[in-house]
Structure 1
Amino acid sequence: MGLTGVTARAYVTNLGSGNVYVFNTANNALIGIIEVDDGPYGAAVTPDGLRVFVTTIVNGTVNVISTATNTVIDTIPIGFFPGELVITPDGTRAYAVLIGEDAVAVIDTEENTVSDKIPVRDGPNSIAVTPDGTRVYVSHFGDDFVSVIDTETNTVVDSVTVGTFPAGIAITPDGTRAYVINSGDETVSVIQLDDNTVTGPPIPVGFDPRQIAMTTDGTRAYVTNFRDDTVTVIDTVNNQPVDTIPVLDGPIGAAVTPDGTRVYITNANANSVTVISTADNKVIETSGVGADPNFVAISPPILE
């Protein structure tokens, strides 16, 4: 691979075809297809941009990908039905939801081993980490709560009641609020993180919302609405929806580029990725990927 510049990359997990597509976000060009274990699902990039961690729900593993070579360099057995995962801001640990065990696995990213498993409430779904790395927030599709994990002790220290069937979570860059999708209510709840209480009325979004991504300046959130093939844009200053963007069939995953200019959306039923400009909330490109794409993770700028 030639050294052509420094660009961020988008890593798209394709649940149905067992691979990860890699895009150069500067021009949306496909630059690699990585074969992984069966059922790739969640994905997260280390803060230094050197590795991508991908959960595989069929094999119960996490595949570790080198971004230098776009190949799998390690496989970590993790547990039953692993879902989403996040990596702490210091890059030392990954926290992965184990849907089949009602637990969160903690991975030592230096040794690539599971160092702990944290019991949580029923049906853990989505997961997010605060910018200072001290707390992890886990939504529970099974019981309408969000669990709060202290990363120093790896124990649950609080639970927050939200709406029905909570799914995706995004935390503002300043660490003051968490935005939690309530799939059953077609709303988003806002949690004030200093006291873990819900603030303000729920924010209405589209039909069957799944995931949420926050812009780098924290002023807007993008919510994928699986059943009506749209993305809702939320103004986080006023906590109101301000736009609805049509995309392709079955949008699920969402991620924002490091410069905040674009949002990548996976369309699970259309086997594609849609790129949205945050300047005007218009679709600027759609690219084909593998079968049933679910999540997308975007790296910091990497030397190509």
Structure 2
Amino acid sequence: MTRMTRNPDIAGRTAAVFCAVAALTGLTAAPSERPGRLVYVANLHSDTVSVVDTRSGTVVDGVPVGDGPDSAALGPDGSRLYVTDSAADTVSVVDTRTRTVVETVGVGHEPSRVTVSPDNKSVYVANVGAGTVSVISTRTLAVTDTIAVGDAPLGLAVSPDGRTLYVAVAGSDSVSVIRTDTGTVTGAVPVGGGPTALALTPDGRHLYVSNLTSDDVSVVDTRTRTETGRIPVGDQPAGIGVLPDGRRVYVADIGSDEVSVISTRSRTVTDTIAVGDGPTASPSTRTAGASTSATSSRTPCR
């Protein structure tokens, strides 16, 4: 499956972005009584979600979902898993106890990323092909709002208080700021080229943005809604995560096969870790009980 933009002028500028996010898989860790025991992996080409037991290192189950599962996110209580079916324009809702799909929700074109609000009331879905974010009620499992954000929305992050949703909009090199109670875009923060992924510090005061085409990470002050710094990293940073203590940021650099480690205090890269070929997923860095999600590209730009 190859990502396509609707606007040919935008396509040239964001081609590298779609190369990195094409053919995604998603993974998310289960926040249960035994933190980290289970990990859910969305398998793009087999239309399934694998359930992995981290203690034994084995796949213990497989859940059939929609066409082209791209990413996944757990609700805060771990009872439901939400999977974006990128080729079907749907979200599969999985009951993690029975490991079955209990509902399939139609969303926008090419849903790519998904996250859940801290209060477990809303699911947010970035529709990369439609330029929108779909809002799903976890109570009714129906779309309650569709918010236009611009061309190629990708990364999502919700503030700790749940009042603000941040969306990385690759087509405009910006981060859209959405007020969640009204579903309105209240501003846009210019960042680097091709923003693809977002990570908030635990206190919600700083947002880190991986900019795929400018090879850097933007630091955004969420109070002033301004970019306060930009940190050079490896080639084509695609995934990003912040540790629970807020001291370090990990960036997956797909083009240089490494992970850049950033100190949030000095805002510099303090270490570079060589990893496998084409990394795009940040490590799962949130504490148990919080919604976690990540993405990993296996066969970009087929």
Task: Tell me which interval the TM-score lies in, with the shorter structure as reference length.
Answer: 0.7 to 0.9
Q: Is residue 271 of structure 1 aligned with residue 271 of structure 2?
A: no
State the SS of the aligned residue for 1:210.
strand
Pick from 43, 47, 55 the counterpart of residue 31 of structure 2.
Answer: 47
Shift of 1:40: 6.7
> Which among 229, 232, 245 is matched to residue 218 of structure 2?
232
Asked if the contact 2:134/2:146 (under 8 Å) is kept, the reply is yes
SS in 1 for 2:192: coil
Q: How does 1:161-172 map to 2 (within 5 A)?
A: 161-172=148-159
CA separation of 1:272 and 1:238: change in aligned 2, threshold 3 A:
same
1:242 is matched with: 228
Instruction: Give 1:150 shift.
Output: 0.2
Match of 1:17 in 2: none
User: Aligned residue for 1:18?
Assistant: none
The answer as to whether partners of 2:66 and 2:90 remain within 8 angstroms in 1 is: no
C-alpha deviation, 1:299, in angstroms: 4.9
> Which of 270, 273, 278 does residue 287 from structure 1 map onto?
273
Matched to 2:135, the amino acid is V
Report % sequence identity. 39
User: What is the aligned partner in structure 1 of residue 242 from structure 2?
Assistant: 256
Structure 2 equivalent of residue 296 of structure 1: 282
How far apart are the structure 2 equivalents of 1:161 and 1:139? 10
Provide the rounded CA distance (Å) in 2 between the counterparts of 1:143 and 1:192: 20
Match of 1:12 in 2: none
1:66 to 36, 53, 68: 53
Structure-2 change in CA distance of 1:103 and 1:246 (3 Å): same
1:45 aligned partner, one-letter code: A
Q: 1: CA distance between counterparts of 2:133 and 2:287? A: 32
Question: 1:43 Cα deviation (Å)?
Answer: 1.5
- Could you list the per-position Cα deviations for residues 241-271 of structure 1 after superposition, in whole angstroms to 9, with x for gaps in the alignment? 0111111111111111122221111111222
Rounded Cα–Cα distance in structure 2 between residues aligned with 1:81 and 1:218: 32
Write the letter of the residue equivalent to 1:168: G
User: What residue identity is the alignment partner of 1:203?
Assistant: V
Matches within 5 A, 1:156-195: 156-195=143-182
Pairwise CA distance, 1:301: 6.4
Match of 2:66, SS state, is: coil
Query: In the alignment, residue 245 of structure 2 is paired with which amino acid?
Result: D
CA contact (8 A) 2:242 2:285 kept: no
Q: Which amino acid aligns with 1:42?
A: G
2:127 aligned partner? 140
CA contact 2:207–2:219 (8 Å) conserved in 1? yes
Name the SS of the counterpart of 1:276 in structure 2.
strand
- Structure 2 CA distance, aligned partners of 1:256 and 1:138? 21
Q: CA deviation at 1:178?
A: 0.3
Residue deviations 1:124-162, cap 9 Å, x none?
A: 121111001100011111221111000111100011111
Give the equivalent residue in structure 2 for 1:127: 114
Kept in 2, the 8 Å contact 1:44–1:297? The answer is no
* Residues 192-214 of structure 1: per-residue CA shift (max 9 Å, x gap): 011111113x1001111111111
Tell me, in whole angstroms, the C-alpha distance in 2 between the residues paired with 1:73 and 1:222: 35
Where 1:184 maps in the other structure, the secondary structure is: helix
Deviation at 1:300, TM superposition (A): 5.3
Is 1:215 matched up with 2:184? no
TM-score by length of 1: 0.82
Q: CA RMSD in A?
A: 1.6
Structure in which a larger fraction of residues adopt helix = 2
> Secondary structure at the residue paired with 2:172?
coil
- Structure 1, gaps ≥5 residues long: 1-38
User: Structure 1, residues 220-255: CA drift from partner, whole Å, max 9, x if none?
Assistant: 111111111111111101110011111111111111
Q: Which amino acid aligns with 1:75?
A: G
Equivalent residue for 1:203? 189
Q: Quick one: structure 1 residues 107 and 297, their matched pair in 2 at CA, closer, same or farther if it must change by over 3 Å?
A: farther
